[in-house]
Amino acid sequence: MVKIFIDPGHGGTDSGSVGNGLREKDLTLSIATRIKDILLIEYNNVSIKMSRPQDTYPSLDDRTNQANAWGADFYLSIHINAGGGTGYEDYVYTSTNQITKTYQDHIHAEVMKLISFQDRGQKTGDLHVLRETDMPALLTENGFIDNINDAAKLKMASFIETLARGHVNGIVKCFNLTKKITAVYHTVVSGDTVYSLSGAYGSTVQQIKDWNDLDSQFTITVEQKLRVK
């Protein structure tokens, strides 16, 4: 089981950066929650713990202590930038190991594949959540809240989804996570056979038989719902 600790920056009395009608603490929680949900719903053998599932403020020590005590395999800290720039960047600790650098490579690349932000590069920094964690750790800065163009994107639910998907795709690559198999059902119409359905959906005849408890003649009827994948 891969244990991912997700840390939405700021929270509670600490709003983080503010600009263009947005608060960093709200955005980080939205992105982090969506990352958690996608991983748990769509992938096998992954466990998630969040530093704050709600609008609270755990201290920096609280955050890293939680992750260390849990024995997390990876620490992901989500932030939004400010200060007059634009785009996406991420950080690992100033003196880190090759595994952490590789994880940064994967997540940076996968995020940049999906989002329409300027690429500000992969960086290092002496930040608490990177320095005090016992596991590989990455901090991502997802756009500038005080940049009107970045903020316009961050106000869109579809863009938050895209950011989350980019992070997830990177984590999947880091840990070779496999997707859960989602059953697909087909409503039988005239002319369908188990053999034609197996070809259409890429499943074997035996699988369709087993999934649907078909008899030895593979009998199916019109309007019957069959699991086909």
The residue ranking higher by pLDDT, 218 or 88, is 88
Supply the pLDDT for residue 180.
87
Supply the pLDDT for residue 64.
98
Give yes or no: 141 in active site: yes
Is 210 a residue whose pLDDT tops 90? no
Active-site choice (24, 89, 110, 141): 141
Helix axes 157-175, 98-114, angle to 10 degrees: 150
The tokens of 32 are what? 């982090």
Asked whether 152 and 19 are in contact (CB, 8 A), the reply is: no
Least confident segment among 40-44, 97-101, 135-139, 200-204: 200-204
> How do residues 8-33 score in pLDDT, each as one tens digit?
999 999 999 999 999 999 999 999 99
3-state secondary structure the chain: CEEEEEEECCECCECCCEECCEEHHHHHHHHHHHHHHHHHHHECCEEEEECCCCCCCCCHHHHHHHHHHHCCCEEEEEEEECCCCCCEEEEEECCCCHHHHHHHHHHHHHHHHHCCCCEEEEEEECCHHHHCCCCCEEEEEEEECCCHHHHHHHCCHHHHHHHHHHHHHHHHHHHCCCECCCCCEEECCCCCCHHHHHHHHCCCHHHHHHHHCCCCCCCCCCCCEEECC
> How do residues 118-135 score in pLDDT, each as one tens digit?
999 999 999 999 999 999
**Residue-range domains of the chain with CATH:** 2-175 (3.40.630.40), 185-227 (3.10.350.10)
Supply the pLDDT for residue 182.
78
| C-alpha 69, offset from chain centre | 23
Hey, what amino acid is at 76? L
pTM beyond 0.85, yes or no: no
